[in-house]
Amino acid sequence: MKKNVCVLVADGSEEMEVVIVADVLRRAGIGVFLAGVGDSRLVTASRGVRLAPDGVWDSAEANRFDALVIPGGIGGTQIMREEASVKHAVREFLREGKIVAAICAGPTVLHEAGVLGGRRFTSHPGSREELPAGSWLDQPVVRDGNLLTSQAPGTAFAFALALVETLVSAEAAQKVAAGMLVAR
């Protein structure tokens, strides 16, 4: 059965983390829906790149997804941290055993949702002081059960391939990586 992933995007999201994740997942045959959080139909990402989400974030539609991805970018994560429906969806996905994945400053949204306690995770080192002490790991990608976190734009390929491995298989991730000439 084909997996479907919702990638949240808002003004100020890190464009590399959004586009690389969406691209890699699609190469693996995973359905990707870019959900715009906020009022604008076009999102201006952190470096000025304009992105057109597939639609607006609607928490009532969240149950059709197998995973929820939260990219970094200070502006985008701030918008998501203030959106109660995003935090509720994070808690529900984890409670239901679905995958929640966050990269760079994205784990700050997880912290706001109250789901990092007792879990191992990573983030951009610059976000570390905003997160619970003791469980932060200085690793490119960290998986703790159905929670997947990563550090920055430079780890976006490893993060996306870890998502493919989690949602499909290690073989699928290796095949996609080989086709892109990404070392694993």
Separation between Cα atoms, residue 41 and residue 53, nearest integer Å: 7
Q: Does the annotation count 104 as an active-site position?
A: yes
Catalytic-role residue among 19, 45, 104, 162: 104
CB-CB neighbours of 140 under 10 Å: 17
Q: Which residues contact 48 (CB under 8 A, 6 or more apart)?
A: none
Tokens of 54: 């597939």
DSSP for residue 136? B
In 83-155, alpha helices (H): 84-95, 107-112
Which string of DSSP letters, residue by residue, matches 7-66? Answer: EEE-TT--HHHHHHHHHHHHHTT-EEEEEE-SS-SSEE-TTS-EE--SEE--GGGGGG-S
Q: Which residues are the active-site residues?
A: 104
